[in-house]
C-alpha cells in the first residue's frame, strides 16, 4: 500500500502546506501500543464474522506484533504518506503480510479508531497520575511525621494568624491531593467507554460484537451513540481538568516551599540536591523545583482552556479540529509527571528549621484569639470579647510588646473577667491543644489523622483505580 488511505478519488498530490499542517504522526506515534492493541482486537472481531480467515488472522496478528517491535526498538521507518499512527501501522502491516492487511480496515474508520486509541491512553495515564499522587501524598506524610513537633505560624492574607503544627499544614495538601486523585478516578471512568465499532459517524455496517470487543480491550461500557462516540472529547477534557486542578494545588505547594525556604521565612532547609545556584551570586540557593511546579500550572490550565475552546463550536460528528486533543493531553501528562516527581524529591530532601519556626511564633500577637476565647469561657459574648482584645492589641503595639506580655492589671482594666489563670491559656501548647475538634491542629488529633492517612494510602495501593 503506497498511497494514502483516502486518496483513491483524488487526482494530484495534496498541497505540501496542507499536508504539513495535517500530519500528526510526529506526535501521535506515541499511541502505537494502543493502535496496535485496538487493531488486533478488531482483527479478531473480523474473524468472528468471517471477514478474515483463520490463516489471515494469524498473519495479521503476527504482523502487528512485528510492527510493535519496530516501534518499541525505534526501528520504524515512516513514509511521506504516513499521515498519522493509524495510517503508519496499517501501511507497514500491509507491507509485511500483504492482502490480509488490506482487509483490516473493514467497517472501521480512523474516526472511531483514534477515539478508541485515545480512550485507552487516557485510562492508562489517569491510573498513572493517580499512582503518582499517592506517592506525592506519601512524601508529604513522611515529612509531616518527621516534623510532628514543629510549630509555625499559620497565615491568612500572608499575615501571621495563629500557631499550627507543621504536620497539620502539610496534611492540608494531602487532602487536596486526595480530591485530585478522585478526579483522575473519574477521568478514568469517563474514558472507560469503547468508541471502536462506531465507524466514521453512523455506526458499523457489519455484525461486529462490540460487547465482546469492549471486553477484550478492557472497557467497561460500549458507546451507545456513534456520533457522540467519534465527535466528542469529554474524556480528554475531563483528564485535562483533573491535570489543571491538580496543577493548581501543586503550584500552591510549590509557593509554600518557595516562601518557607526564603531567607525572610527560613522555615524549611533544602538539601543541596534539590536547590540550584546562581551564575553570578555565589551565595544563592534557589528552589527551582518548587518554582517550576508553580510555573507549570499555567501550562496545564492553558491546555484545558485550549481544548475547551476548540470543542465549543464544533458540529457533530468528527472534525479535523479534534486532532488538537492529543498534543494537549500528552504534554499535560508529561508536565504533571515531572512536577510531581520534582516536588517529591524536594519534600524528601527537606526539613524544618525548628529554631527559626519557633522564633516566628514570638511576634504578631498569635495568641490574641486565645484571650478572646478565655473571655468567652467567662461568659463574655464573643463580639464584646473581640472588641476588648482588639483594644489590648492596640495597647500592646503602643508598648512595642506582644499582647501576651501585657501585665495582668492592664488586662483587668480592659475586662475584670481576666484572672491570673489567663496565663495558662496564653501558651502555644494551650492554643494547639484547645483545637481538638475534627479538622483541628491539636497534636493528638493530628497524630490520629496521620495514622488514618497511612491506612488510606495503603488501601490506594492495594486496589486498582
- Residues involved in catalysis: 157, 278
Q: What is the rounded end-to-end Cα distance, in angstroms, of the chain?
A: 41
Helix or strand (DSSP H, E) at 4 = none
Cα–Cα distance, 375 to 254 (Å, whole number): 39
* Residue pair 403/367 in contact by the 8 Å Cβ criterion: yes
* Sole residue written with cell 493502535: 35
Residue burial 168-196, b: 16+ Cβ < 10 Å; e: rest? bbbbebbebbbebbebbbebbbbbbbbbb
Cα–Cα distance, 465 to 463 (Å, whole number): 7
Query: Three cell numbers at 296?
Result: 507549570
Query: Three cell numbers at 152?
Result: 509555625
* Residue pair 299/331 in contact by the 8 Å Cβ criterion: yes
Residues 6+ apart with CB under 8 A from 99: 56
The single-letter DSSP state of residue 14 is P
Question: What residues does 221 pair with on adjacent strands?
Answer: 193
* Residue pair 122/31 in contact by the 8 Å Cβ criterion: no
Cα–Cα distance, 145 to 153 (Å, whole number): 18
* Sole residue written with cell 495514622: 451
Amino acid at each position: 500500500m503506497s498511497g494514502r488511505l483516502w486518496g483513491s478519488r483524488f487526482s494530484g498530490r495534496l498541497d505540501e502546506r496542507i499536508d504539513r499542517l495535517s500530519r500528526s504522526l510526529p506526535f501521535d506515534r506515541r499511541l502505537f501500543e494502543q493502535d496496535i492493541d485496538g487493531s488486533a482486537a478488531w482483527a479478531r472481531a473480523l474473524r468472528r464474522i468471517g471477514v478474515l480467515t483463520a490463516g489471515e488472522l494469524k498473519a495479521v496478528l503476527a504482523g502487528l506484533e512485528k510492527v510493535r517491535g519496530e516501534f518499541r526498538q525505534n526501528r520504524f521507518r515512516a513514509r511521506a504518506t504516513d499521515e498519522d499512527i493509524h495510517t503508519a501501522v496499517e501501511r507497514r502491516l500491509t507491507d509485511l503480510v500483504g492482502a490480509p492487511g488490506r482487509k483490516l480496515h473493514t467497517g472501521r474508520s480512523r474516526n472511531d479508531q483514534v477515539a478508541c486509541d485515545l480512550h485507552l491512553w487516557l485510562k492508562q495515564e489517569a491510573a498513572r497520575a493517580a499512582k503518582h499522587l499517592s506517592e506525592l501524598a506519601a512524601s508529604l506524610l513522611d515529612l509531616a511525621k518527621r516534623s510532628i513537633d514543629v510549630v509555625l505560624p499559620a497565615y491568612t492574607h500572608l499575615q501571621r494568624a495563629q500557631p499550627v503544627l507543621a504536620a497539620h499544614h502539610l496534611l492540608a495538601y494531602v487532602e487536596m491531593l486526595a480530591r485530585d486523585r478522585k478526579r483522575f478516578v473519574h477521568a478514568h471512568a469517563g474514558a472507560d467507554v469503547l468508541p471502536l465499532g462506531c465507524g466514521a459517524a453512523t455506526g458499523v455496517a457489519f455484525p461486529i460484537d462490540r460487547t465482546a470487543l469492549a471486553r477484550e480491550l478492557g472497557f467497561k461500557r460500549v458507546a451507545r451513540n456513534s456520533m457522540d462516540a467519534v465527535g466528542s472529547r469529554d474524556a480528554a477534557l475531563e483528564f485535562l481538568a483533573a491535570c489543571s486542578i491538580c496543577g493548581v494545588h501543586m503550584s500552591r505547594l510549590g509557593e509554600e516551599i518557595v516562601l518557607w525556604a526564603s531567607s525572610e521565612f527560613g522555615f524549611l532547609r533544602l538539601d543541596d540536591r534539590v536547590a540550584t545556584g546562581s551564575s553570578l551570586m555565589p551565595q544563592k540557593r534557589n528552589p527551582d523545583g518548587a518554582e517550576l511546579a508553580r510555573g507549570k500550572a499555567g501550562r496545564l490550565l492553558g491546555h484545558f482552556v485550549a481544548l475547551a475552546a476548540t470543542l465549543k463550536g464544533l458540529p457533530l460528528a468528527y472534525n479535523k479540529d479534534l486532532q488538537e486533543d492529543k498534543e494537549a493531553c500528552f504534554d499535560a501528562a508529561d508536565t504533571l509527571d515531572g512536577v510531581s516527581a520534582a516536588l517529591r524529591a524536594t519534600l524528601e530532601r527537606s526539613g524544618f528549621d525548628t529554631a527559626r519556626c519557633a522564633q516566628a511564633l514570638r511576634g504578631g500577637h498569635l495568641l490574641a484569639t486565645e484571650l478572646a476565647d478565655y473571655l468567652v469561657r467567662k461568659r463574655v459574648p464573643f463580639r464584646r470579647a473581640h472588641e476588648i482584645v482588639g483594644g489590648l492589641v492596640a495597647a500592646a503595639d503602643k508598648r512595642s510588646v506582644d499582647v501576651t506580655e501585657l501585665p495582668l492589671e492592664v488586662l483587668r482594666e480592659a475586662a475584670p473577667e481576666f484572672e491570673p489563670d489567663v496565663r495558662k491559656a496564653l501558651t502555644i501548647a494551650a492554643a494547639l491543644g484547645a483545637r481538638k475538634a475534627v479538622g483541628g491542629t491539636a497534636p493528638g488529633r493530628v497524630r490520629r489523622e496521620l495514622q488514618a492517612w497511612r491506612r488510606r494510602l495503603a488501601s490506594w495501593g492495594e486496589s486498582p483505580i
